[in-house]
Structure 1
Amino acid sequence: MNDPLQALLQLAQLNADYTAAIDAQDWERWIDFFVDDCTYKVQPRENHERGFPLCTLALISKGMLRDRAYGIKETLFHDPYYQRHVVSLPRILRVDGDLIEAETNYAVFRTKLSQETTVFNVGRYLDRVRVTPEGLKFEARVCVYDTEMIPNSLIYPI
């Protein structure tokens, strides 16, 4: 990908489509944003900055994403809630052939039924995105969240 403006527009669209799928709880569509040999992690900022590998959630293949989606739909019991993502424009860090590395800030709001909306998670996506014949796909997405704690448990992807 040689055109920086085109790369920026495509990354922005990828993030918009990704967050729309999660906000709509379309887990099958969420899986399709990744290549087969992928990494998806949710990690506290402190661990990331110190180089510690401990993550709140670490999925290291598309098969593990499928397993997580199945768990969300079929086996996890929790108070129902809605998520709404707000993301910044991506900042392209590096382009190397068909690989794009980018950083994008995000905020996730959570609304439980009959309760006020709260800020659930805020941080940044650190992405390695691969240009494929099907369009841009995440090779790696690390969600580095700013707080040291998240409320209750992490059910839905960030």
Structure 2
Amino acid sequence: MITDTANEIRAIDDLLGRYSRVLDDQDWEQWPDLFAQECSYTVHTLDNIQRDLPLAYMYDDNRARVLDRIKFITEVWAGTIEPYRTRHVTQRTEAASLDGARWTIRSNFQVSFTENDSLSGLLATGYYEDVVELTTDGARFTSRAVRLDSMPARYLVYPL
């Protein structure tokens, strides 16, 4: 029997899958659509988190900055960076309802990268700490906090 909770978890899993696909396909114009109007996206190493250091690889603390991230990729940095392809592998490990419409989600991830059709390598590992909002329009991130196990294998241009 399908329950409301099963439908909510399915919507969350669909969001996690769309997120990976959008980044792996480099469909940059779709990335902001995965976030609610009031949202944040941050990337920190666990070392910095544990030492209470505020330094972040990416710190987009509102929707305007999420939109700016795409503008930097598509316009500002265009032609000045070495492009690479990514492949995300994500596994949801926890899901808890906050109030029925909002859920906290934790997922482990591994992201590989390939430059210039060369051999692939591991870019980053860690986990996501998310707050997801469920509406009639679907699931959206209100907060996506990326927690890196260590420094990435190369500089980061694209969201993880």
TM-score, normalised to structure 2, is: 0.90
Please give the secondary structure, in 2, of the residue aligned with 1:115.
Answer: coil
Q: Match of 2:122, as an amino acid?
A: V
Does the C-alpha gap of structure 1 residues 7 and 69 become closer, same or farther in structure 2, counting only changes over 3 Å?
same
Q: Are 2:137 and 1:134 equivalent residues in the alignment?
A: yes
Shift, 1:48, TM fit? 2.2
Read off the aligned partner of 2:74 and give its amino acid letter. Answer: K
Structure 1 length as normaliser, TM-score?
0.91
Return the offset for 1:8: 2.1
State the partner residue of 1:61. 62
Partners in 1 of 2:35 and 2:94 — Cα distance?
20
CA distance in 2, matches of 1:112, 1:13: 28
Cα distance in 2 for partners of 1:134, 1:51 equals 37
Correspondence for 2:29 = 28
What is the RMSD computed on CA atoms of the aligned residues?
1.6
| Stretch moving more, 44-53 or 18-27 | 44-53
Q: Is the 8 A contact 1:33 1:138 kept in 2?
A: yes
Determine helix, strand or coil for the equivalent of 1:119. strand
How much has 1:90 moved relative to structure 2?
4.4
| Superposition deviation, residue 78 in structure 1 | 1.1
Pair 1:72–1:55, CA change in 2 (3 A) = same
Report which stretch shifted further, 43-52 or 53-62: 43-52
- Verify the 8 A CA contact 1:40 1:142 in the aligned structure 2: yes
Q: Does 1:84 pair with 2:87? A: yes
- Cα distance, 1:88 vs. partner? 0.8
Amino acid at match of 1:133: T
Distance 2:25 2:17 in 1: 12
What is the count of residue pairs matched by the alignment?
156
1:58: Cα distance to partner?
Answer: 0.4
Residue of structure 2 equivalent to 1:106 = 109
Residue 19 of structure 2 corresponds to residue 18 of structure 1: yes
Seq. identity, %? 29
Alpha-carbon separation, structure 2, partners of 1:48 and 1:93: 22
What pairs up with 1:30-45 in 2 under 5 angstroms?
Answer: 30-45=31-46
- CA displacement, residues 86-119 of structure 1 (integer Å, 9 cap, x when unaligned): 1113420343221100101111000001421000
In 2, Cα distance between equivalents of 1:87 and 1:131: 20
SS at match of 1:52: coil
Distance 1:47 1:135, change over 3 A: same
